């Protein structure tokens, strides 16, 4: 049976890509780094604009690195970034579950914040495992929206969270993926699995401003906002109030925001 069609809640608005370009191996794949060495082959599922992929590739050369994403435009951005960095990455457009990626497999099959957008995350994990060589690793990091926390309290940010959860679940996704990874891995038939957690924390003035501006825009101008309105989850006025809440949060010198992630390393 083919995998279901998935709805990408965030879309590929510039505000979304701006946050994706911020990702590096250190801030988004630290749990994986001790297991990497030059010469390993890696598949990056849902590579987006490629900054994380290229960073991982720099640690694996001369190993083969393939970056896959379903969006042609974002892969074009990844190609441009990879060329600028001199990275030898094979960029592909398509759904990794439906593509011919060769028979040799990969030493590492990696995905960052991908499974929480899939209607069948267990099937996605099983497909990743099938692309790994015997003895290889499946490496996945997923955010957990309901576990995120911030200060000071603000009803507008509470409304943002409720809006996001409602839209994502309407799309068939599971925004609490971070806490579910270990169970999903076992359902996918993986038994040698290590589960860890890590965070992103935004607490400096510059970090708060960047995070708040990005989410204010994502809450009003992206496909998330359009879906919220189309689904009857929020009105445009409510979304504007959410954006104001983000700006108010960022202006508070005592404000903090923590994004919680779950991570798995599964040996196949």
Digit-coded pLDDT (tens) for 191-235: 999 999 999 999 999 999 999 999 999 999 999 999 999 999 999
Average pLDDT over residues 250-260: 98
Q: Checking DSSP bridges between strand 42-45 and strand 65-69, what pairing results, if any?
A: parallel
Q: What are the structure tokens assigned to 57, written together? A: 């590739």
pLDDT tens sequence across 165-180: 999 999 999 999 999 9
- Pairwise CA distance, residues 267 & 250, whole Å: 41
Confidence of residue 48 (pLDDT cuts 50, 70, 90): very high
- How many C-beta atoms surround the C-beta of residue 153 within 10 A? 8
Average pLDDT over residues 30-50: 98
- Pairwise CA distance, residues 181 & 262, whole Å: 7
pLDDT at position 169 is 97
Sign of CA dihedral 9, 12, 14, 16: positive
Q: What are the structure tokens assigned to 123, written together? A: 């099937």
Average pLDDT over residues 3-28: 90
pLDDT at position 103 is 83
Average pLDDT over residues 241-264: 98
Average pLDDT over residues 254-261: 98
Cα-Cα-Cα-Cα torsion 52, 58, 59, 64, nearest 10 degrees, comes to: 90
Angle at CA 261, nearest 5°, toward 117 and 141?
60
23 has a pLDDT exceeding 80: yes
- Pairwise CA distance, residues 57 & 168, whole Å: 31
What pTM was estimated for this model as a whole? 0.96
Return the closest-CA partner of residue 119 out of 173, 168, 170. 173
Contact 246, 219 (CB under 8 A): yes
Class of domain 14-145+172-202+255-267: alpha beta
1 has a pLDDT exceeding 80: no
pLDDT tens sequence across 110-151: 999 999 999 999 999 999 999 999 999 999 999 999 999 999
pLDDT at position 102 is 84
């Amino acid at each position: 049976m083919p995998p279901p069609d998935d709805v990408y809640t965030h879309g590929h608005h510039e505000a979304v890509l701006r946050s994706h370009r911020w990702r590096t191996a250190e801030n988004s794949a630290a749990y994986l780094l001790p297991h990497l060495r030059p010469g390993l082959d890696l598949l990056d599922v849902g590579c987006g604009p490629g900054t994380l992929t290229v960073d991982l590739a720099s640690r694996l050369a001369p190993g083969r690195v393939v970056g896959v994403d379903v969006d042609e435009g974002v892969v074009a951005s990844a190609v441009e970034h990879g060329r600028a960095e001199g990275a030898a990455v094979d960029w592909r457009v398509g759904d990794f579950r439906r593509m011919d990626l060769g028979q040799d497999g990969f030493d590492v099959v990696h995905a960052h914040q991908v499974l929480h957008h899939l209607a069948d995350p267990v099937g996605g994990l099983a497909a990743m495992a099938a692309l790994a060589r015997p003895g290889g690793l499946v490496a996945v990091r997923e955010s957990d929206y309901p576990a995120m926390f911030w200060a000071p309290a603000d009803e507008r940010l509470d409304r943002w969270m409720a809006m996001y959860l409602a839209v994502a679940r309407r799309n068939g996704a599971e925004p609490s993926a971070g806490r579910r990874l270990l169970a999903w891995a076992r359902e996918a038939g993986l038994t040698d699995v290590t589960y860890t957690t890590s965070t992103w924390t935004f607490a400096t003035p510059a970090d708060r401003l960047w995070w708040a501006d990005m989410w204010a825009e994502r809450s009003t101008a992206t496909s998330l906002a359009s879906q919220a309105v189309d689904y009857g989850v929020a009105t445009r006025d409510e979304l504007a109030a959410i954006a104001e809440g983000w700006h108010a949060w960022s202006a508070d010198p005592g404000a903090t925001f923590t994004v919680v992630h779950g991570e798995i390393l599964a040996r196949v």
